[in-house]
Amino acid sequence: MARRALITGITGQDGSYLAEHLLAEGYEVWGLVRGQSNPRVSRVRTLLRDVRLVRGDLLDQGSLISAMEKVQPDEVYNLGAISFVPMSWEQAELTAEVTGMGVLRMLEAIRVCSGVTASRGASAGQIRFYQASSSEMFGQVRETPQTERTPFHPRSPYGVAKAYGHFLTQNYRESYGMFAVSGILFNHESPRRGAEFVTRKVSLGVARIKLGLADELRLGNLEARRDWGFAGDYVRAMHMMLRRDSPEDYVIGTGRTHSVRELVVAAFEAAGLPWERYVVCDESLHRPAEVDLLCADPKKARTQLGWEPEVTFEQLIAMMVESDIRLLSAGEDPHQHSSWP
């Protein structure tokens, strides 16, 4: 029998790569989709024809229990979230509900459907749970590089909500013996990245300038540093964590850090354009509290999971710029659908 996986956040960047990876591994893959007429669902139906869909919402406990009962998964990947950091200041309560409380609702759905109680712990063959934790939890970092033991100091309502989900996942593991793990993933990108995130905003901006569709690119803080990797590499790590004998949390990143300025230079270079002529610094795009520096120490993942990223920062940025030049040349522009500047 094929193993069965349920993915929340199937319409997002990671959901699509993870579904492709698990299908290739022989899994039966189900995706949780929300809303009455969610336009992103048709994209999933086109891109991921073999994924089955089940309705549910991280805001609705009953719908998650029903989805769990219907799918009867072996593995659950909770990727659903409000994931754009600036939105978490504008809609802090919604972020807490979806990104934070959504984790509680998923864990409860698994606990209830598995008949696990305080006196009756989880059994062998139990449902395995992956939580999409984030390097945003490190926030104002206490040490560099960041490991599984680095303390958290989140700098946004999003980071705070992720820290809640992270500790709750750990708590359900310790309280009920559930196979529940968190991957603390650093920034990962791809041609499927949402247009509001900085790498994609830059690759789309460069493509637009290259094709004569724009003459400037407005950005916020160019000095912030991130550890950027390729999403396709990171979903492999999620799967590896659930195939271990014992549940543990892992930091996933490349161990290399670059500034937004270096990202800009690499992207304009990939298109053969001088970046200074086009980039405009816009104070209004700075955040109320910034995460200045993120850099992973992925040693535990390398030694215990055997995980290594395959795509370098330079390859990733070139891949995104080339993809967006092709996309815009074909008349498509994903930024048209984004409500963020």
Minimum CB separation of residue 273 from ligand NAP in Å reads: 26
Q: Find the part of the chain contacting ligand NAP (CB under 6 A) among 22-30, 56-64, 284-292, 307-315.
A: 56-64
Task: State the binding partner of 241 from ligand NAP, ligand G4F, none, CB within 5 to 8 A by kind.
Answer: none
Q: Is 57 in the site for ligand NAP (CB under 6 A)?
A: yes
Q: Is 236 in the site for ligand NAP (CB under 6 A)?
A: no
| 3-state SS string for the chain | CCCEEEEECCCCHHHHHHHHHHHHCCCEEEEEECCCCCHHHHHHHHHCCCCEEEECCCCCHHHHHHHHHHHCCCEEEECCCCCCHHHHHHCHHHHHHHHHHHHHHHHHHHHHHHCCCCCCCCCCCCCEEEEEEEHHHCCCCCCCCECCCCCCCCCCHHHHHHHHHHHHHHHHHHHHCCCEEEEEECCEECCCCCCCCHHHHHHHHHHHHHCCCCCCEEECCCCCEECCEEHHHHHHHHHHHHCCCCCCCEEECCCCCEEHHHHHHHHHHHCCCCHHHCEEECHHHCCCCCCCECCECCHHHHHHHCCCCCCCHHHHHHHHHHHHHHHHHCCCCHHHHCCCC
Task: State the binding partner of 58 from ligand NAP, ligand G4F, none, CB within 5 to 8 A by kind.
Answer: ligand NAP
| 3-state SS string for 327-338 | HHHCCCCHHHHC
Site residue total, ligand NAP (CB under 6 A): 27
Q: Find the part of the chain contacting ligand NAP (CB under 6 A) among 106-114, 143-151, 185-193, 237-245.
A: 185-193
Measured from the CB atom, the residue of 74 and 196 that comes closer to ligand G4F is: 196
Reply yes or no on whether 172 is catalytic: no
Task: Compute the residue count for the chain.
Answer: 341
Measured from the CB atom, the residue of 156 and 221 that comes closer to ligand NAP is: 156
Measured from the CB atom, the residue of 201 and 210 that comes closer to ligand G4F is: 201
Residues contacting residue 115 through CB under 8 Å, at least 6 positions apart: none
Q: Is 180 in the site for ligand NAP (CB under 6 A)?
A: no
Q: Find the part of the chain contacting ligand NAP (CB under 6 A) among 11-19, 122-130, 240-248, 255-263.
A: 11-19
Catalytic residue among 133, 134, 156, 203: 134
Catalytic residue among 27, 130, 158, 164: 158
Measured from the CB atom, the residue of 11 and 134 that comes closer to ligand G4F is: 134
Measured from the CB atom, the residue of 182 and 221 that comes closer to ligand NAP is: 182
Question: What span, in angstroms and rounded, lies between the C-alpha atoms of 250 and 299?
Answer: 9
Question: What span, in angstroms and rounded, lies between the C-alpha atoms of 293 and 278?
Answer: 25
Minimum CB separation of residue 314 from ligand G4F in Å reads: 18
Measured from the CB atom, the residue of 267 and 316 that comes closer to ligand NAP is: 316
Q: Find the part of the chain contacting ligand NAP (CB under 6 A) among 108-116, 186-194, 270-278, 321-329.
A: 186-194
Reply yes or no on whether 278 is catalytic: no
Cβ burial, residue 181 (10 Å; 0-12/13-18/19+): buried
Binding site for ligand G4F (CB under 6 A): 83, 85, 134-136, 186-187, 196-198, 201, 219-221, 224, 226, 260, 285, 287, 290, 294
Q: Is 58 in the site for ligand NAP (CB under 6 A)?
A: yes
Please select the residue that binds ligand NAP; options are 4, 5, 6, 15, rule is CB under 6 A.
Answer: 15
CA 171 → CA 104, 176, 329, distances in Å?
11, 8, 50
Reply yes or no on whether 88 is catalytic: no
Measured from the CB atom, the residue of 11 and 254 that comes closer to ligand NAP is: 11
Tell me the catalytic residues: 134, 136, 158
Point out which residues bind ligand NAP (CB under 6 A): 8-15, 34-35, 38, 40, 57-59, 79-83, 98, 132, 134, 185, 187-188, 194
